[in-house]
């Protein structure tokens, strides 16, 4: 168990979390041998992007996670209709998921599309791509793994750019073409958006 001791939770909530942790661990344990390298989408929502991406990239094993059960239910429906052997959706909170990731399973590509922006200063700690999350993602990544972010919140994008430039594990991949287009639910609603990409690698090559 690895609950946040600053925010105690009820024994019922702890049991739900523990059961989910067991489920995620079992799901990943059953996949790791056949799929040691994965393309991961964090906060996959209804699964539009990853379903289309997996269909176009049959050589990559694609895993989408979201903490909202109803969104994963809709994603699973798409997975069922598409019948793709290289696609899975898992209900999980991102830190919990990474905690359960088996040693032998590595991240090759990571997509984060229109993450919750948490614009208020006091809520910035809730944003998905903070310094500690970037470090954890890099620990689980292969060398030259790629991170792709797209958002309509330009303050968020600049905040991630700053986190990446402070990171010893990641460097910005300026000029990298966005590898695959499929509009998401939030992309459809956005008036405009920007994208960035980064790559893990030798910190000596940073700059």
Ligand X SMILES: C[S@@+](CC[C@H](N)C(=O)[O-])C[C@H]1O[C@@H](n2cnc3c(N)ncnc32)[C@H](O)[C@@H]1O
Among 133, 185, 201, 206, binds ligand X (CB under 6 A): 185
66 binds ligand X (CB under 6 A): yes
Radius of gyration of the chain (CA): 17
Residue 94 interacts with ligand X (CB under 6 A)? yes
Smallest distance, ligand X to C-beta of residue 172, A: 22
CB 110 within 8 A of CB 148: yes
Q: Does 136 bind ligand X (CB under 6 A)?
A: no
Q: Does 70 bind ligand X (CB under 6 A)?
A: no
45 contacts ligand X (rule: CB under 6 A): yes
- Does position 153 interact with ligand X (CB under 6 A)? The reply is no
Burial of 96 (0-12, 13-18, 19+ CB in 10 A): middle
Q: Distance (Å, rounded) from C-alpha 110 to C-alpha 101? A: 14
End-to-end CA distance of the chain: 39
The one among 20, 35, 40, 43 contacting ligand X by CB under 6 A: 43
Q: Give the per-residue contact string, 8-27, with ligand X (x = CB under 6 A; - = no).
A: --------------------
DSSP H stretches of helix in 7-153: 11-31, 48-56, 69-82, 94-100, 131-139
- Report which residue's Cβ sits closest to ligand X: 43
Q: Is 113 in the site for ligand X (CB under 6 A)?
A: yes
Residue 128 Cα distances to 3, 113, 115, angstroms: 18, 11, 7
- The verdict on whether 116 is a catalytic residue reads yes
Q: Does 93 bind ligand X (CB under 6 A)?
A: yes
Looking at 89, 114, 159, 170, which residue binds ligand X (CB under 6 A)?
114
Q: Which is nearer to ligand X, 53 or 186 (CB)?
A: 186
Minimum separation from the CB atom of position 52 to ligand X (A): 13
Which DSSP state fits 177?
P
Per CB under 6 A, 64 contacts ligand X: no
**Could you give phi then psi for residue 8, rounded to 5 degrees?**
-60, 145
State the Cα–Cα distance between residues 56 and 100, nearest whole angstrom. Answer: 28
Q: Given the complex with ligand X, which of 113 and 164 has the nearer CB atom?
A: 113
d(CA 91, CA 76): 10
Residues of the shown chain interacting with ligand X in the complex, contacts defined by CB under 6 A: 43-45, 65-68, 71, 93-94, 113-116, 128, 184-187
């Amino acid at each position: 168990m690895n609950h946040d001791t600053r925010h105690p939770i009820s024994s019922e909530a702890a049991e739900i979390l523990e059961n989910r942790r067991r489920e995620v661990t079992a799901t990943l344990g059953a996949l790791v041998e056949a799929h040691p390298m994965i393309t991961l989408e964090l906060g996959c929502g209804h699964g539009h992007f990853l379903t289309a991406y997996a269909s176009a990239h049959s050589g990559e094993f694609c895993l989408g996670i979201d903490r909202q059960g109803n969104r994963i239910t809709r994603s699973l429906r798409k997975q069922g209709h598409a019948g793709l052997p290289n696609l899975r959706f898992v209900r999980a909170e991102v830190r919990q998921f990474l905690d359960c990731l088996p040693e032998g399973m590595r991240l090759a590509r990571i997509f984060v599309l229109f993450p919750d922006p948490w614009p208020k200063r006091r809520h910035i700690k809730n944003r998905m791509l903070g310094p500690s999350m970037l470090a954890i993602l890099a620990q689980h990544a292969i060398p030259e793994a790629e991170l792709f972010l797209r958002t309509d919140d330009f303050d968020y994008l600049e905040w991630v750019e700053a986190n990446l430039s402070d990171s010893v594990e990641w460097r910005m991949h300026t000029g990298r073409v966005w590898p695959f287009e499929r509009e998401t639910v939030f992309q459809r609603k956005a008036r405009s958006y920007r994208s960035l990409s980064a790559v893990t690698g030798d910190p000596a090559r940073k700059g």
